Amino acid sequence: MTVGVGILGGGTVGGALAHRLLTERQAIADKAGLSLDLRYLAVRELGKPRPYAFPAGVLTDRPEDVVNDPSVNLVVELMGGMEPAGDLVLQALKSGKPVVTANKELVAARGKELIEAAEASGVSLLFEAAVGGAIPIIRPLSESLAGERISEVLGIVNGTTNYILTQMCDNGAPYSSALAKAQDLGYAEADPTADVSGGDAASKAAILASLSFGTWVGSEDVYREGIEDLLAIDISYAADLGYLPKLLAVASDTGEGVSVRVHTTLIPSDHPLATVRGSQNAVYVKGPDVDELLFAGPGAGGDPTATAVLGDIITSSRELLAGAQVPPRVRFGPGRLRAFEEVETSWYLRLEVMDKPGVLAQIAATIGGNAVSIESMVQLGRDDEATLLFITHPSPEADHRKAIAALGELDVVRQVAAAIRVLPPT
């Protein structure tokens, strides 16, 4: 039996996937035992120049053709964004067609609804490429590790910001220069806001958390900060202390609820995630029985992402050929989301202070008075000023914020110049 495939979206990933379906059809058949026939590739502009040639009738500017044509057995959504992608996916699922998508924004926002629609129709909704590009992480979390009580997931899940931070660490480049280079290389969009503000990573963090803990987490439930305010001087000081910065997605089962957040984090230089450089992605999973697992590889780009999408197409096509109703891969039960303010965090603080007797005592008293304790302190003096670097012990996020605000009110503190969360050594 031949499986008719229709693709919504002819951008970088959609074009690469369509080209592969046409040029590697026999190789796929030989290896997977499937005949995949590209029926449609829905694009915005039919006359736009494209890097690949397509047979007559494949290109269409009517996405509804992909969903409604009975010759299309399986729908691949690579349009991105919420609409019209969301309604098209829902329509396909309700009509009994399985869907493969790489749309992390859509899955994070409407994933529970779409998964339930797929279950009701007895078909699959697969989204391996929504997190980490070519890295296989969705299936391990939802199937291979379904019996493991995962305690924490740490992810470097945005290649743009990881590239920028690598440039800042390795070459001492300021943020603006590193961003410009990322844009020149095509890693960052002309408007990089979704990447550098943490929005893209937050969608992926929501998906990882939902699958890891079986409690639905929407993108709106993820606390997020970006990398825009990180300074080269703090990267240098952090390196002296044995840390380097990453935009880290952190999802944890605290025992009192699930916590999910994305922010710049200083991680120990000997942590497994510290070796993830450039535009690479990685997801680090911890559990009582598996201990620690690291999934790493290319997290973006047309060809790597198309590889993950194609893997889902093959899985879903095999299910179609089997002719059986597809059982649900994941179920979401009740669970509590823990407010970020309640979660314990550690911080790196850089204070610019007056260099005179009694200053350190005032600062230590202010920090301790807000229920935060100091793990280490370094003083760097210059003339009548001094720079103080602190690493704090884990304390509730709310207490740290109060301590930082109180430090800013001290007459002896000229500036709380930097406050960055720290991942404690494992």
Phi-psi region of 242 (alpha: psi -120 to 50; beta: other; left: phi over 0): left
Contact 227, 265 (CB under 8 A): no
Distance CA 73, CA 265 (A): 44
Supply the DSSP symbol for 18. Answer: H
Q: Is 255 helix (H, G, I), strand (E, B) or coil?
A: coil
Token pair listed for 119 = 């279950």
Q: Is 62 helix (H, G, I), strand (E, B) or coil?
A: coil
Q: Is residue 332 part of a domain?
A: no
Distance CA 339, CA 221 (A): 9
| pLDDT of the residue at 332 | 86
Contacts of residue 285, defined as CB under 8 A and 6 or more positions apart, other chains included, come to 140, 141, 145, 150, 152, 153, 212, 292, 293, 294, 295
Digitized pLDDT (tens) for each residue of the chain, 426 residues in all: 799 999 999 999 999 999 999 999 999 999 999 999 999 999 999 989 998 889 999 999 999 999 999 999 999 999 999 999 999 999 999 999 999 999 999 999 999 999 999 999 999 999 999 999 889 999 999 999 999 999 999 999 999 999 999 999 999 999 999 999 999 988 888 999 999 999 999 999 999 999 999 999 999 999 999 999 999 999 999 999 999 999 999 999 998 999 999 999 999 999 999 999 999 999 999 999 999 999 999 877 788 899 999 999 999 999 999 887 888 778 888 889 999 999 999 999 999 999 888 999 999 999 999 999 999 999 997 778 899 999 999 999 999 999 999 999 999 999 999 999 999 876
244: number of Cβ within 10 Å:
21
Among residues 312, 105, 70, 318, which one has the least CA distance to residue 202? 105
Give the residue numbers annotated as catalytic, written as ranges: 204
121, 196: one domain: no
| pLDDT of the residue at 74 | 98
Contact 212, 293 (CB under 8 A): no
CATH number at residue 261: 3.30.360.10
Q: Is residue 351 part of a domain?
A: yes
φ, ψ of residue 335 to 5 degrees: the values are: -170, 160
271, 308: one domain: no
| β-strand partners of 389 | 350, 378
Measured CA distances, 288 to 250, 293, 322, 338 (Å): 18, 11, 36, 21
Distance CA 378, CA 352 (A): 12
175, 256: one domain: yes
Q: Is residue 165 part of a domain?
A: yes
171, 213: one domain: yes
168, 122: one domain: no
Q: Is 280 helix (H, G, I), strand (E, B) or coil?
A: strand
100, 215: one domain: no
Please count the residues of the chain: 426
Contact 170, 236 (CB under 8 A): no
30, 120: one domain: yes
Q: Is residue 33 part of a domain?
A: yes
15, 60: one domain: yes
Write down the pTM of the prediction: 0.94
Token pair listed for 267 = 């991680």
208, 125: one domain: no
Distance CA 7, CA 308 (A): 15
Q: Is residue 121 part of a domain?
A: yes
Domain count, the chain: 3
234, 113: one domain: no
150, 234: one domain: yes
CATH number at residue 400: 3.30.70.260
Q: Is residue 327 part of a domain?
A: no
Enclosing H/E stretch for 117: helix 104-121
Domain housing 404: 340-422
CATH number at residue 56: 3.40.50.720
Q: Is 75 helix (H, G, I), strand (E, B) or coil?
A: strand
247, 266: one domain: yes
* DSSP result, 304-352: HHHHHHHHHHHHHHHHHHHTSPPPPS------PBPPGGGSEEEEEEEEE
Calculate helix-pair angle for 302-322, 12-23, nearest 10 degrees. 60
Contact 67, 91 (CB under 8 A): yes
| pLDDT of the residue at 95 | 97
* DSSP result, 363-384: HHHHHHHTT--EEEEEEEEETT
Token pair listed for 182 = 């990322």
Would the CA dihedral through 126, 130, 132, 134 be positive or negative?
Answer: positive
Q: Is residue 335 part of a domain?
A: no
Q: Is residue 139 part of a domain?
A: no
